Structure 1
Amino acid sequence: MALPALPKVSHDTASAPPRIVVLGSLNMDLVLRVPHAPEAGETLQGHSIHTVPGGKGGNQAVSCARQGAAVSLLGRVGADDYGQALRAALTRDGIDHGGVQTDAQEPTGVALVMVDDAAQNRIVVIAGANARVEVDAHDPELAQRLQHAAFLVAQFETPLAQVVTAAALAHRIGCKVMLNPSPAQALPAQLWPLLDTLVVNEVEARLLSGRVADTPAEAAKAACALRARGVARVVVTLGAGGAVAADTQGCRHHPALAVTAVDTTAAGDTFLGALAVTLADGQSFDAAVRHGIRAAALCVTQVGAQPSIPDRDAVLRSALPPDWIPL
């Protein structure tokens, strides 16, 4: 069946907050604070345990909302207490979750997040309802959401086929697609030409480009290889090493801010949300990367996923990162 004709729209960010649609996972995180990761057979006395709203889709939606965007989230939760708690958290951030489905068979996704005293995390995810997200390319409500959005933001914690369906619809309508291919996996050929902005870490950059991306110079080469696939803008995030941005103007290294990290959970999601909203606001690519770095630096100084994501005012009050360096 042919898709209905849909007009392309312009996004007037001067009169209203930018609109962003996020397709992604919703998890309840069980966060364990531990002195170190236990070895095989070791029983470890932990510091604490907390339940915290998370999931890459939920985190990125919250980051976008706290940076001032009007956000619609597409996802799936179970008909259980965790699902209700996640919806309540989205409501508190003003996020439209009318596109979040409720699964009567599968439970809400859960992530076990172990954070050690060095602020490094180890995460095990049980997908649950996330694995059954469905995107209907003929849904008029979805088309309406995308018509008025500056970006569709997606990751890979929901089925890949559904990400492709949503990206194809967004691209056809004129809504730009920003992809964070995490967990890392190869992209199907039909997805590449649909992408406007690709945000990857060192592992994802290496998998997709076939090049090592552990230093700014290496990340720049990987980013150029990814841009050659037709992507307009690529960001390779390097954690404490900052980020490399690549577009038609070439490659630049944006250094990170020096902070004392206590928990790196959701740092990448925080960066991506801040990046998306700043671009949707009409600011330059470099300004958007710098804003993302500032937001992520604040995130890692706090514990937990969504509780650690800063709002726009906090980011604007924070220190500026060093100037970017051409590569």
Structure 2
Amino acid sequence: MASNETRSRVAVVGSLNMDLVARAPRLPHPGETLAGRTFAQVAGGKGGNQAVAAARLGAQVSMLGCVGADGNGVQLRAGLEAEGIDCAALETGKAATGVALIIVDDASQNAIVIVAGSNGEVTPETIARHEPVLAAAEVVICQLETPPDTVRAALAAARRLGKTVILNPAPATGPLPADWLPLIDYLIPNELEAAALTGLPVDTPEDAAKAAAALRAAGARNVLVTLGARGVQATLDGAAAATLYEAPKVKAVDTTAAGDTFIGGFAAQLAQGASVETAIRFAQRAAALSVTRPGAQPSIPTRAELGASD
């Protein structure tokens, strides 16, 4: 990995959670109690995961967010700092640190319930206080695990500052506000999120292309729909048609944080000046390796593991 002086900068605005992960034969039905096999407590949250991924995959990263004044918050902050992530903009709030309750089944699919906690204390004023962090970055990443007005403020500030803006619209429950889309350079939903954003069915790569076209027509510059083992359907500015980038074939153990790994790797590559195609393929390799091992942040690979050099 290159030194901090030569690594390109990525700023992540988003959530940090402590993940409470149980493995069970299958996901439970409503009202059902299942016997689990294992339990682990690991660092997570989409913001934290994407920050760790970008750092391990070659970027100099700053994290803008909030943790609680509790043991989970101390542990999450220490974990980011151990990755070389700048936590000067990571505040300590009044609420407890966010948590995610995760069940992973034998097919490596998961179900997640998030309690936002201190992530809800990231406000537009937080963004304004730490605007120099955004100004110092080449790429700014946001998600939807902090309050909507905060996400909008971060997107707008990053756009005003001339940064490359990535939004991972997760979790998505419906369309984004119309004034958000023109602020976004790369909108990166999975198939469920793309369906929620557009109201269109997204069951196939062709469906993903239609949803992406609708999002581009509404103002997003580029749309990458991640389709798990099927790959990434990319609808890019200036391209005549959508392109399906097939995913590397691997045996999945746990898909938790695969999307976050993709986004972190993609952002790290863009920050270093790579082409979009190069960034997508690099990020796919990183995500494919992540699903071969359990956990969120523990599963995220390093640049060296991918055989990549600076």
- State the TM-score, normalized to the length of structure 2: 0.93
Aligned to 2:25: 35
Matches within 5 A, 1:126-145: 126-136=115-125, 139=128, 142-145=130-133
Q: Distance in 1 between matches of 2:198 and 2:66?
A: 31
**2:141 maps to 1:153:** yes
Post-superposition shift, 1:263?
A: 0.5
Which of 13, 32, 46 is the aligned partner of 1:23? 13
Residue type of the partner of 2:117? G
| Secondary structure, aligned partner of 1:97 | coil
| 1:217–1:92 distance in 2 versus 1, CA, 3 Å | same
Write out aligned runs for 1:178-257 (5 A). 178-185=166-173, 186-247=175-236, 248-249=238-239, 250-257=241-248
Structure label with greater radius of gyration: 1
The change in CA–CA distance for 1:193 and 1:43 in structure 2 (over 3 A counts) is closer
Deviations 1:128-180 (A, max 9, x none): 1111212327846x232222211110000000100111111111111121001
What is the CA-CA distance between 1:57 and the residue it aligns to?
0.4
Tell me what 2:258 maps to.
Answer: 267
Q: Matched residue of 1:261: which SS?
A: coil
The answer to whether residue 80 in structure 2 is matched with residue 102 in structure 1 is no
Q: Percent identity?
A: 51
The aligned amino acid for 1:269 is D
Question: Which moved further from structure 2: 294-303 or 15-24?
Answer: 15-24
Residue segments in structure 2 that go unaligned for 5+ positions in a row: none
In the TM superposition, residue 210 of structure 1 has moved relative to its aligned partner by: 3.0
Please state if 1:170 is matched with 2:158: yes
1:296 paired residue number: 287
Output the CA distance in 2 between the equivalents of 1:137 and 1:75: 8
Shift in Å at residue 20 of structure 1? 0.8
Deviation at 1:243, TM superposition (A): 0.7
Deviations 1:18-75 (A, max 9, x none): 1011011100001111122233444332211111000000000001001111111111
Distance 1:138 1:63, change over 3 A: closer
What's the counterpart of residue 122 of structure 1?
Answer: 111
Q: Structure 1, residues 187-220: CA drift from partner, whole Å, max 9, x if none?
A: 1122111111100111111222332222112211
Matches within 5 A, 1:77-92: 77-92=67-82
Are 1:310 and 2:301 an aligned pair? yes
Q: Which residue of 1 aligns with 2:55?
A: 65
Kindly indicate whether the alpha-carbon contact (under 8 Å) linking 1:214 and 1:238 is maintained by their aligned counterparts in 2. Answer: no
* Aligned-pair Cα RMSD in Å: 1.6
State the Cα distance separating 1:315 from its structure 2 match: 2.2
What residue identity is the alignment partner of 2:44? G
8 Å Cα contact 1:245/1:286 also seen in 2: no
1:248-307 per-residue CA deviation (whole Å, 9 max, x = no partner) reads 123110111111111010000001111111112111111111111111110100100000
CA distance in 1, matches of 2:222, 2:62: 23
Tell me how far apart the structure 1 counterparts of residues 43 and 139 of structure 2 sit (CA, whole Å). Answer: 23
SS at structure 2 position matched to 1:16: coil
Bigger mean CA deviation after superposition, 217-226 or 160-169: 217-226
Contact 1:137 1:166 in 2 (8 A): no
- Deviation of 1:316 after TM superposition, in Å, equals 3.2
Matched, 1:52 2:42: yes
Report the Cα distance in structure 2 between the residues aligned to 1:53 and 1:237, rounded to whole angstroms: 23
CA distance in 2, matches of 1:80, 1:138: 23
| Residue-pair matches, total | 301
Q: 1:208 to 1:39 in 2, by over 3 A?
A: closer
Query: Where does structure 1 differ by over 3 angstroms across 4 or more consecutive aligned residues?
Result: 39-43, 137-140
Amino acid at match of 1:74: L
